[in-house]
Amino acid sequence: MLLEEIKKFLLEDSVNRFLKYVQVWTTSDDLSQSAPSTKNQLELGKILTTELKELDLDNVIHDDYGYVYADLPASNGLEEVRRIGLIAHIDTSQAVSGKDVKPVIHKNYDGGTIEFANKDIKLTVEDSPILKDYIGLDIITSEGDTLLGADDKAGIAEIMAACSAWRNFPELKHGPITICFTPDEEVGKGTLNINKKRLPEICYTMDGSEMGELEFECFDAWKATITFTGLSVHPGYAKNLLINAAHIASRFLSEIPEQESPENTEDREGFYYVTGFKGEVEEAKAGLIIRDYVEENNEERMNFLNKLKELYEIRYPGLRINLQFEHQYSNMLRFIEKDKFVVDLAEKAIEMAGLEVKFHSIRGGTDGSRLSEMGIPTPNIFSGGSLFHSRKEHIPTLALQKASEVLLHLAKLWITA
């Protein structure tokens, strides 16, 4: 059990840091070729570097790619305890503006509708059923014109608050811990330039959703790029000659089963997701992502697209279709299964914080997906927010405190693990 004094400290510290971090613009950019994808991410990295030094962490580094690394020395006599890593990401999704975020605390939530300063949206229990559990709590949102950025600045604030508690309360014992804050997670490049040598053999990301959540399964993820090459001819003289790439591509895409789209699937169902399409007569291009927990199901989806390509090339002589698949990340389950105790300790830590553990499968991926594949088992612990990538994103202040508590318990459990 943690002393009330420590819990109070964690609440204040994590909330203050969170309110500060969300105001720093860190939107990443899918189309950028640079690393980090946006310069503004470096600004938060700089702030974190300063704060980590203030908290007396060792080897604090902010590298050119925008990664922040730091080592928390073990409590006296615990130097030989196995080192663990704590990871959160700096960037926010480009789906919604993350510039000039103005956080608002709605005190003592009454179970009703939350009004935003920006009057055109409201947050209701229908939008977010978890709100039913938040009656009496203080809830943080944006003003409704931007996302909030709890994904994943909550994770950062929670790790920082834990570091702050370890420093201020020496009775909280822990082994050596490495902190890593990553850029560009939202554009799938969170581990692209990560320095694996700088990380311990076991890590945890703080990038899940609601309180109590613990995840160690994610999608197996593929990206497909389809290029259609046609032939332009004056439409008045086009009979048996014209090959209209734009029009044919639109027919091709409409053959993809509608019931296997993100908007028609949930739980353990996989999908195809057309993320972009651009077409003219001579050339059309479509981008897709393909997701499933089961690798074989994704293979079937790719076979389906390959067969469709063959069919269309026969149906439209002269048409050329180029189909390219790129593997993005694997279901981390099969890498973590053999080190299941890493998950078990997180489960115990969540219970010690007085929460019910909710095992979910991530309908997406995290930095931990890639790291697990790279040989560093990295389950995902909740950061506490809901409706990520949305102007209705929200987080109760209690979740920030509870996630920090989980980290203190987790570090303690590792001492005897």
**Residues with catalytic function:** 91, 185
Nearer Cβ to Zn ion (7/153) = 153
Minimal distance, residue 181 CB to Zn ion, in Å: 12
- The verdict on 158 binding Zn ion (CB under 5 A) reads no
Quick note: the x/- pattern for Zn ion over 187-216, rule CB under 5 A, is: --------------------x---------
Element (H or E) spanning 46, and its range? helix 40-54
Q: Which is nearer to Zn ion, 151 or 217 (CB)?
A: 151
Work out the angle at residue 13's Cα, subtended by the Cα atoms of residues 136 and 66, and round it to the nearest 5 degrees.
Answer: 120
Three-point CA angle 21, 410, 54, nearest 5° = 40
**152 lines the binding site for Zn ion (CB under 5 A):** yes
Q: How many residues bind Zn ion (CB under 5 A)?
A: 3
- Least distance in angstroms from the C-beta of 360 to Zn ion: 14
Looking up tokens 């509608």, which residue turns up? Answer: 258
The minimum distance between CB 173 and Zn ion, in angstroms, equals 30
Least distance between Zn ion and beta carbon 89 (Å): 6
In the numeric block, which tokens belong to residue 270?
Answer: 């996989």
Q: Which of 13, 151, 210, 393 binds Zn ion (CB under 5 A)?
A: 151
Stretch that binds Zn ion, among 143-151, 218-226, 304-312, 368-376 (CB under 5 A): 143-151
* 3-state percent breakdown (helix, strand, coil) of the chain, nearest 5: 35, 25, 40
User: What's the CA gap between 154 and 143, in Å, rounded?
Assistant: 17
Q: Which is nearer to Zn ion, 176 or 384 (CB)?
A: 384
- Tell me: does residue 13 bind Zn ion (CB under 5 A): no
Neighbouring residues of 196: CB distance < 8 A, sequence distance ≥ 6:
374, 376
Cβ-Cβ contacts under 8 Å for 268 (sequence gap 6 or more): 293, 361
Beta carbons within 8 Å of 6's beta carbon, 6+ residues apart? 165, 169, 172, 408
Cβ distance to Zn ion smaller for residue 321 or 403: 403
DSSP string, 187-210: TT-TTTT--GGGS-S-EEEEEE-S
Least CB distance from residue 190 to Zn ion, whole Å? 9
Comparing CB distances to Zn ion, the nearer of 175 and 365 is: 365
Minimum CB separation of residue 301 from Zn ion in Å reads 25
Q: Is the Cβ of residue 12 or residue 29 nearer to Zn ion in the bound state?
A: 29
Report angle CA 356, 357, 359 to the nearest 5 degrees: 145
CB 346, CB 202: distance < 8 Å: no
Candidates 112-120, 149-157, 218-226, 231-239; binding stretch for Zn ion (CB under 5 A): 149-157
Q: Which residues of this protein are in contact with Zn ion, per CB under 5 A?
A: 151-152, 207
